[in-house]
Amino acid sequence: MAAMDIRGVQRPESAFSGPNPFQPVAPDAGADGLASPASKALSVSAAVDLAKGALEGIRVTVLGEVSEFSNRPGYKAVYFTVKDERATLPCMMWSGRYRACGVDVCVGQKVEMTGRFSVYAPKGRMNFDVQSLSLAGEGRLRMEVANLARRLEAEGLMDPSRKRPIPVMPEVIGIVTSPRGSVVHDMLRTLRRRFPLSRVVVAGVPVEGPQAARAMMTGLRAAYDAGAEVILLGRGGGSFEDLMPFNDEKLAITISRCPVPVVTGIGHEPDTTIADMVADLRASTPTAAAEAASPAREALEEQFSAQAAALGRAVRTTMSQLCSHVAHVATRPVFQDPQALFATDAQTLDYALSRMARALSLLAVQDRDRVASLARRMAASIPRNLERDRSALALAQSRLASVAPATVARGAADAERSGAALFRAADAELERFGHGLALSAARLHDLSPLAVLARGYAIARDEAGGVVKSVDAAEVGSPLSVSVSDGTLHCTVDAVEASRHPAIEKETA
């Protein structure tokens, strides 16, 4: 820091026309009776007053480092000294103002204060009357950070209930840190060693300087968009000022609103940034952050072998329990002596059998007796029946013998009568038939052409055998056969003459 840094010197007109009656001009010009015009010497009071008048009214802002500090109870003001490499400035601050400035001044702090010079005449001492004071440099930064932390805490951003659990075996792990330097490689190496199954997405961003906070916010967003289930925000150690991007309010809000847990691994203890405070987990270093987001490979392997043992043990337990159960069952009497299973039934069966046998033989005797009785009865009844039938038959026979001759005789007489009647009837019928026959024969004889021929008629036939009934049927010279009663005459037609009576024609041979 340069020498006492006077940022502003105000010399308002009022400083000269106000209550201060002195002007930094030649003493003779402003003689007020305090100094004798004859003598050039001033009284002490006048001299101090002159200095007072010259100094007071100069209002400046001073930056320096506190080197001594005294705040005694009961005093109306705090007294301290601010210095730089070449000068020291005694300061006083009225207690009321000191309390109002809100700074706990302590030795070594850089402070920025505004006030005016004053001179304490009784001691001839110059003081800087501090009207307002604030921390400067890192102290100022720290105070601002502390104020922001208080504010964010009041808003609940650091509430323990907001802290989300870190996934045990994230498939995608995001890293937001500088792409240069050892930090990113420490983290990658740690993840590779512990949990190579996860995919790592790296957002390489500046972590220092005025652009860093905004770049880290973009990096967080990119890592989340790439599917990260947890995001590691890392940075190596550095001065308080170097870490200032991690105290950015907007970054703090981004972290608190990040949809997935954020683990910070920033610098080394005891530096705690706002980012650390709002993160879901604060790890002391980048490597520790990587460890927090990944399962220890050794632990996993141990877990696997424990599970392998548990699997085998569980199955062996089940098996041995089942085996011992089976063995126990096998010792039961029923399996030791299978006969016992049927003993009762077998005895029951035997008993039943013997009862049955007894019952059967009893029945057999009864049946035999009954058959014998039936046989006897049957034998007794058969002859009796025969006797009865035989006598009935004899009776019928004798009755038949007494009735038969009369019946036969009557039948014979009837037959004889019928036969005579029949003969008589037949004779009468024959006679009637013979008479009719003779009549018919006579009539038949009368009708015969032969009988006509016998009476002298003849029948002429032409060569074809046809009967010649007209003169037209025979030509002169044609042969004719003429049948008469006792033979035939073969003739030739000599002449043809039609008769007057065509019905009658006479041929001559």
Binding site for another protein (CB under 8 A): 169, 171, 178-182, 184-185, 188-189, 191-192, 196-205, 218-219, 222-223, 226, 297, 300-301, 304, 307-308, 310-315, 317-319, 321-322
**423-437 as b/e, with b when 16 or more CB fall inside 10 Å?**
eeeeeeeeeeeeeee
| Distance separating alpha carbons of residues 439 and 317, to the nearest angstrom | 145
Q: How far apart are the first and last CA of the chain?
A: 210
Vertex 258, ends 256 and 261: CA angle to 5°? 90
| 312 vs 434, beta carbon nearer another protein | 312
| Distance separating alpha carbons of residues 372 and 397, to the nearest angstrom | 38
Number of neighbours of residue 157 by Cβ within 10 angstroms: 19
In terms of phi and psi (left: phi > 0; alpha: psi -120 to 50; beta: otherwise), the region of 270 is alpha
Tell me how far, at minimum, the Cβ of 88 lies from another protein, in Å.
Answer: 49
Tell me how far, at minimum, the Cβ of 179 lies from another protein, in Å.
Answer: 4
Question: How is residue 467 annotated by DSSP?
Answer: B
| 4 vs 226, beta carbon nearer another protein | 226
Please tell me whether residue 507 adopts helix, strand or coil conformation.
coil
Tell me how far, at minimum, the Cβ of 246 lies from another protein, in Å.
Answer: 17
Tell me how far, at minimum, the Cβ of 254 lies from another protein, in Å.
Answer: 15
| 220 vs 244, beta carbon nearer another protein | 220
> Structure tokens of 248?
């950015």
Which is nearest to 230 in space by CA: 187, 183, 181, 179? Answer: 187
Which is nearest to 22 in space by CA: 10, 34, 12? Answer: 34
Non-local CB neighbours of 40 within 8 Å, separated by 6+ positions = 27
| 175 vs 493, beta carbon nearer another protein | 175
Tell me how far, at minimum, the Cβ of 210 lies from another protein, in Å.
Answer: 17
| 50 vs 205, beta carbon nearer another protein | 205
| 11 vs 313, beta carbon nearer another protein | 313
| Distance separating alpha carbons of residues 79 and 68, to the nearest angstrom | 8
Tell me how far, at minimum, the Cβ of 278 lies from another protein, in Å.
Answer: 22
| 316 vs 445, beta carbon nearer another protein | 316
Residues 173/199, Cβ–Cβ less than 8 Å? yes
Tell me how far, at minimum, the Cβ of 244 lies from another protein, in Å.
Answer: 20
| 59 vs 199, beta carbon nearer another protein | 199
Please tell me whether residue 342 adopts helix, strand or coil conformation.
helix
Residues 495/486, Cβ–Cβ less than 8 Å? no
Tell me how far, at minimum, the Cβ of 328 lies from another protein, in Å.
Answer: 16
